[in-house]
Amino acid sequence: MQLNLDPAAKVSTTLNINLNDKKAISPELMGIFFEDINYAADGGLYAELIQNRDFEFSADDNHGRNPKFAWKVENEGMNWDIKTDNPIHANNKNYSVLTTTKVGAKLINEGWDGINLKKGAKYDFSMFLLGKGKVKVSLVEDGKILASTTLTATTTWKQLKTVLTPNADAQKAVLSIEPLQTGELSIDFVSLFPQDTFKGRKNGLRKDLAQLLADIKPQFIRFPGGCASHGQGIDNIYHWQATIGELWERIPDFNIWNYHQSRGLGFYEYFQFCEDIGATPLPVLAAGVPCQNSWKGGCGQNGGLPFEKDLKGKPSPYKYMGKDLTMESYLQELIDLIEWANGDPKTNKFAAMRAKAGHPKPFGMKYLGIGNEDLLGDVFNERFTFLFEGIKKAHPEITVVGTVGPFWEGSDYEYGWKEAKRQHIPIVDEHYYNLVGWYLNHQDYYDKYDRNGTKVYLGEWASKGNNLDNALAEAIHITNVERNADVVVMSSYAPLLAKEGHTQWNPDLIYFNNTETKPTTNYWVQALTGQNAGDEYIYADRKVNVEKADYNAVNKRVASSVVQDKETGDIIIKLVNALPIVNTININLGDIDFGIKKGQYISDAHVSVISNSDLRAKNLKPDYNTIKVDKEFNYEMPVNSFTVIRIKKK
């Protein structure tokens, strides 16, 4: 992206704003997309501190995982078996049996790269215990006991609960379970949860990560995935019902990204988080076909769930919860989801499940995504159409979001758009991950779209890097998306979260480990945009004046967008100067009436700026200041900068 300019080059810009020429912006233009990739859920946003708490890890999770993964026996005198004959619930068949022959042996859990603890903080501990005798439960780092308690077993499965309060900070603590007598004890579903979660929710979210997401002020959240939704083969399609109810009743499963999903972060928690931060929920589920990247059961989408008419009375080769899985039963799953989210608990059994979990009021679900960047063809289209028509018939109030394939061009894209127009699909999901140059050279991309047809959800996009030049390219694209907000009604960067040491995809918006969060420069571009979203786009005439430099090369590196927040009356100006020199812009606010007397300046304006002379710089944060603005004023856009000027009504 670097542009080498003549030392004598000069650039200036004028921006004339016309308040009388504006159009509405979607109230859900800026959102976030959460996918369980890069350990984003378990070991990440989901605040549980025990890994493999239910001993349900399996070889399907890959990388040597099994029911004993993340656990080990310390000291001699203990035999440890995994059994299945007397589970706490049929959906969690495994449990551990500890046979102690010498007191002092312990079962140890290492957490997720160690257990991070804060001195004086309270942690809810629980586990199911069966047998006779006592166990000592301790939090330990480097041999030092930080917190400890004793629990007594009963002759039937019983969940025992206590609170542990460490007497010191720790970053690499472990959990120790030590039988205090010889004999046999059975344990299952061992949990350690900080009480200090986001909004104080039980079974909640890691506070610092959730707050970073909330600070973007997303207008919607898409979940639980892209590829994680339609899975590694038909058997791994995401079933939302598996993620609700008591934690030990949920059905864990492997992840297409090659690790385990506990489902502790389930649909109830996703919807609750949306409500907690004022975001519209956008669940996205499979269209009855597996992920195009799936290797299990055949490469890509060579098949899908069968229709009952094709089975001709024979059983389906696919089962879910002991029943035949067909397109008809899968459609009912989607209908059940809508009724779980929005139904009346007094008249609907699924809504009653929601109320029992603690949310009697409807969640207000408006959207349902069907499919995710699928390869498009007859197998997909037949199944999508069946689901689309079925949802429209059962719940016409729900807006279905379709897909036009994995790319911004090509046969899938063309076929997807043809079908979208033919079927009158209200919104389709576009995905693209492109280099900086693509964003510079495609600034008119959405200018050419039909203003009256199917709308666009830009569901996954990024510029393939976390340098400043990537963030500036994304800022330029955002200004173009805002200009086309009558076509693009939703957008979200992807992927969102990545745990250091467990990252399968780069770049990502936020990196983290057990103790730190590391928002990227890209994150701050998204956050400044989300925090300064508007209801209306205001047209403005921008002219770039260039001396001793190539006009076209300079012009494509200067961008702007003007929006208004109708609730506050604030005018918000976004400016990008992806140039190695200062660019002075003259801003004329035109006929904007701030109700001021002659001789007064209009307003104070809050200015947020990301800038650095080195386009390779990473992890930059905004600088904030205040300026006085008049109906016409100058502003010096710093080198390589993204600036947001928010003009407050006086």
Q: Which residues are catalytic?
A: 373
Give dist(CA 523, CA 510) in Å, integer: 7
Give dist(CA 92, CA 167) in Å, integer: 34
- Do 151 and 128 contact (CB within 8 A), yes or no? no
Question: Residue by residue, what is the 3-state secondary structure of 204-261?
Answer: CECHHHHHHHHHCCCCEEEECCCHHHHCCCHHHCCCHHHHCCCHHHCCCEECCCCCEE
- Spatial CB neighbours of 42, under 8 Å, sequence gap ≥ 6: 36, 48, 51, 112, 259, 260, 261, 262, 264, 265
Q: Helices (DSSP H) in 256-306: which residue ranges?
A: 267-276
- Do 260 and 65 contact (CB within 8 A), yes or no? yes
Listed in order, strand segments (DSSP E) in 463-548 are 488-491, 497-499, 510-512, 517-519, 536-547
Hey, how many other C-beta atoms are within 10 angstroms of the C-beta on 456? Answer: 21
Residue 287 Cα to chain centre, angstroms: 20
Task: Please report the sign of the dihedral spanned by the C-alpha atoms of residue 23, residue 27, residue 28, residue 29.
Answer: positive
Q: Which among 215, 169, 188 is positioned nearest to 109, based on CA atoms?
A: 188
Hey, how many other C-beta atoms are within 10 angstroms of the C-beta on 242? Answer: 19
Sequence letter at residue 49: L
Give dist(CA 414, CA 432) in Å, integer: 14
Give dist(CA 296, CA 291) in Å, integer: 10
Q: Check whether the bond before 290 is cis (ω within 30° of 0).
A: no
Give dist(CA 283, CA 254) in Å, integer: 19
DSSP letter assigned to residue 447: G
- Do 39 and 259 contact (CB within 8 A), yes or no? yes
Token pair 């310390």: residue: 74
25, 152, 237, 463, 476 from 534: Cα distances, Å: 7, 58, 37, 24, 17
| HSE of 101, CA atoms in CB hemisphere, 13 A | 5
Angle between helices 378-394 and 327-342 (to 10 degrees): 40
Q: Which among 647, 429, 620, 638 is positioned nearest to 525, based on CA atoms?
A: 620
Give dist(CA 319, CA 317) in Å, integer: 7
Q: Helices (DSSP H) in 556-625: which residue ranges?
A: none
76, 137, 150, 188, 327 from 182: Cα distances, Å: 12, 16, 16, 19, 53
Helices (H) and strands (E) in the chain, counts: 12, 35
DSSP letter assigned to residue 46: B
- Do 602 and 590 contact (CB within 8 A), yes or no? no
Token pair 């912006």: residue: 25
**Three-state SS for 472?**
helix
